[in-house]
Structure 1
Amino acid sequence: MSAELRVGVVGVGAMGADHVRTLSEAVPSTRVTEVFDRDTDRAKQVAELAGGRVAESAEGLVHSADVDAVVVASPDSTHAALVLACLAAGKPVLCEKPLAVTADDALRVVEAEVAGGRRLVQVGFMRRYDPGYARLKRTLRAGLLGEPRMVHNVHRNAASGPGSTGASIVTGSMIHELDTVPWLLDDRIVGIRVTSPVADGLPDPQLAVIEMASGILATVEVFVNAAYGYDVRCEVVGTAGTASLAPAVPVSLRSAGTDGVEVSSDFVAHFADAYRVELLAWSRAALAGGAEGPSAWDGYLANVVAEAGVAALHSGERHAVSPVDRPSLYDEGVR
């Protein structure tokens, strides 16, 4: 492989543009050569900052001779088709979550990668690269909490994006926890129940109760219109103690009769270190012609759980999680 990785980025909204900036400024041996976005002016602006050019189409970018690897940060509905195009072109791809809108589409990606015989897909579950989550996982593995019994998660946004639905809260927001909890526990999800206190209109917030194969229970609160800011928390409760993520706040302010810290609404800034480490790991693997980290199989599993979660939200009942058997391509690093 070349000593330099030439990257094409599809979708340069807040997430994609930040990936372009990070790749250009903080990831050695990587150069963004092409970008594509339906907003042509936005694409031109981002491409100029990176020293790249604007592609005429997403498909043209994937097949470009000037692109060795692809970052997919376009709308969720485009993910599966673009990843399949990257697999057909034999190019490593980092796909932002979710891998697909449906579990069936995610499974098609898995089957295409398996048919190719090597891993090329990494899914953007960046929390696995976050220093706080990584330390929490090490704490668990060291046995400092005894036997884990419960995991409590909170995931709040200041305001939802346009077109949010009850289903999209599960598939677009809660899906992070649907990957993080099994990864933290080295366990698998076997059942899920999702409810909301809001009966009319957007069912927000939502509360999920997740059952693990080991019997551990996890709760996930997702509130996409919490108003006050972006807030992510995780606590693991064990037989010998508990461990929680510590708030990442550099300054505590006492002023005008208040005592507290600022809560930002910027999710990209909140996980800036995680995105940087994620892109470093992805580019290193892509330079070697492959992929590491969260796999297409992990993306498929999260989609399966999300679909069960949406069904549970609509029915008010517990739904089982039943993925297909894992292909041997993904046996390494099985959780």
Structure 2
Amino acid sequence: MTVRIGVIGAGGMGRAHIERIETELAGGRVVAVADLNLDGARAVAEPLGAKAYGTGAELIADPDVDAVLIATFGSVHAPDVIAAVQAGKYVLVEKPLATLTEDSLRILEAEQAAGKKLITVGFMRRFDKGYQEMREALVAGDHGYATLVHCRHRNPSVPEGYTTRNMIDDTAIHEIDTCRYLLGEEIVRVRIDTPRSTSHRFEHLADPLVLVAYTESGVRIDDEVNVNIGFGYSIECELVMEQGTIRLSDQHRTVVRDGEGERNPICRSHIDRFHDAFNAEVQQWIRAVERDEHTGSSAWDGYAAGVVVDAAVRSLESGGVEVPVEMIAKPAFYN
């Protein structure tokens, strides 16, 4: 079976997913592309012999589309996610699931009404081998339980339209989900610290930020979000246990040693750093659709990360006070 995939969003992320589906992965074929910029959708679709649509709703309604991949802005995810669920189609939606808690709750309700898990949220770091090895080390129990997680999310730069809120809802959301994945428990309170800002930022940005959070069992998480660091895209994480630590290594294949010292290449973007994780995520999703099964992060994971983001934004707006995470009881559907 070849899974016929419709991609909503013909921007950079959508094109990257189309490229991997068409050239690197097995079992899937892009048969439709939708974008509010219909000419942009056509430019991507026509070389593939795929259909082009101006709305996600039209693409979802196409009977030739088996499954839907959504790569648009988070603020417009909810209508297309809900439409795909109501059409009984599996959907892989890039993070965030939604930018408003009420939209996430509507999505949870729609999926439960469908009686079937159809939504996978694109938290690709769960498919990164380094993070997977960290989780395996904790689960094995040889070093005791977790006490701390230190995270660093550093970008070379961001565009002028990127906001301080985006440092939480578009950037730190990755570490929020990753820590939930690593530790297997929910985050219950959070605050945002604002250290001295870098001079290499747009004036409206408070950069860097540090997100400090605590889980149900009291594990402390700190996440440095530093989006104008200049030298490259650098993702770091160290998990501290009672009698040992495990951390991500530098992501490199070669080391140069010369008169300037010893060094390794630095990634420039998330697409470079997490190329293999993205591929593993989408490949697993395609194979799961073939088997009529759900895989990967659930809609609950998207909701849970979103309410932590909400609490962190409230902390930012109130000058860094600690804010409790407000979360509904987890429906049995998602256990």
TM-score category (smaller protein): over 0.9
Partner of 1:107: 105
Q: 1:325 aligns with which of 309, 322, 329?
A: 329
TM-superposed CA distance for 1:73, in Å, is: 0.2
For residues 46-102 of structure 1, give each alpha carbon's deviation from its aligned partner in whole angstroms, at most 9, with x where no partner exists: 324434232232211111111110000011111111101111211110000000011
- What percent of counterpart residues are identical? 38
Partner of 2:249: 246
Work out the CA distance in 2 between the residues paired with 1:82 and 1:57: 9
Pairwise CA RMSD: 1.6
Q: 2:121 aligns with which of 114, 120, 123?
A: 123
Q: Secondary structure at the match of 2:157?
A: coil
Q: 2:221 aligns with which of 218, 222, 231?
A: 218
For residues 214-240 of structure 1, give each alpha carbon's deviation from its aligned partner in whole angstroms, at most 9, with x where no partner exists: 111011111122221111111011111
Q: Are the aligned partners of 1:119 and 1:291 in contact in 2 as well (CA < 8 Å)?
A: yes
User: More relative contact order in 1 or in 2 (CA 8 Å, sep 6+)?
Assistant: 1
State the one-letter code of the partner of 1:139.
Answer: A
Partner of 1:271: 274
For residues 240-286 of structure 1, give each alpha carbon's deviation from its aligned partner in whole angstroms, at most 9, with x where no partner exists: 11100111112222456353222221211110111111011111222
Q: Are the aligned partners of 2:37 and 2:54 in contact in 1 as well (CA < 8 Å)?
A: no
Q: Secondary structure at the match of 1:324?
A: coil
Runs of 4+ in 1 over 4 A off after TM superposition: none
Partner of 2:52: 54
Q: Confirm whether residue 11 of structure 1 aligns to residue 14 of structure 2.
A: no
For residues 284-329 of structure 1, give each alpha carbon's deviation from its aligned partner in whole angstroms, at most 9, with x where no partner exists: 2222334221000110001100000000111120000121011111
Q: Superposition pairs for residues 308-323 of structure 1, below 5 Å? A: 308-315=311-318, 316-323=320-327
State the one-letter code of the partner of 2:207.
Answer: D
Work out the CA distance in 2 between the residues paired with 1:106 and 1:259: 47
State the one-letter code of the partner of 1:236.
Answer: L
Q: Are the aligned partners of 2:36 and 2:54 in contact in 1 as well (CA < 8 Å)?
A: no
TM-score, with normalisation over the residues of structure 1? 0.94
Aligned residues: 329
Work out the CA distance in 2 between the residues paired with 1:314 and 1:30: 44
Q: Are the aligned partners of 1:191 and 1:318 in contact in 2 as well (CA < 8 Å)?
A: yes
State the one-letter code of the partner of 2:186.
Answer: R
Q: 2:174 aligns with which of 154, 173, 176?
A: 176
Work out the CA distance in 1 between the residues paired with 2:99 and 2:72: 13
TM-superposed CA distance for 1:25, in Å, is: 2.1
Partner of 1:83: 81
Q: Which runs of 5+ in 2 are unaligned?
A: 198-202
